[in-house]
Amino acid sequence: MKAAMRAAMIALPLFLPLSQTAQAQVSEEDIEVGTNLVCDTESQVEMFVTHYDGDAQTAINEVNQEAANPTACVVATTAYMRGPDLATARSKGLTYRIAKIVVFGVVTESGLEATKPAVYYSLFKVDEIEV
């Protein structure tokens, strides 16, 4: 994963139409590489949480069917930068943060393949502490 993050940092200036100052503000710590739910819209992530009962693929299929788009939501390993949390969602006793992400690359069998930066939405489980 560390190699994928380095590759993402190398590719980042090639794909971001940012000024030199803005590019300097993006650091390796800003780029994450992970396997996550990736959806086209915030509402699709909310629908996923509503449908999720422990089987992610079934929930994804239901969201994609409702959206009439077979790729509205997918699970993918990407290099991304997480944006601000937009909402909190709860399901089956679990809490998630829904956030905007910017995807810079996709990890394939060949390694990290840079993509044109694109905005998507994802969710991140909140680790709650019982009191």
Domain boundaries, position 87: 2-9+37-126
Answer yes or no: is 91 within a domain. yes
pLDDT band at 26 (very low <50, low <70, confident <90, very high): low
How many structural domains are present in the chain?
A: 1
Answer yes or no: is 108 within a domain. yes
Answer yes or no: is 25 within a domain. no
Q: Which residues lie closer than 8 Å to 118 by C-beta, 6 or more apart? A: 102, 103
Task: Pick the most confident of 20-24, 25-29, 54-58.
Answer: 54-58
Answer yes or no: is 104 within a domain. yes
Answer yes or no: is 32 within a domain. no
Answer yes or no: is 98 within a domain. yes
pLDDT band at 18 (very low <50, low <70, confident <90, very high): very low
Answer yes or no: is 29 within a domain. no
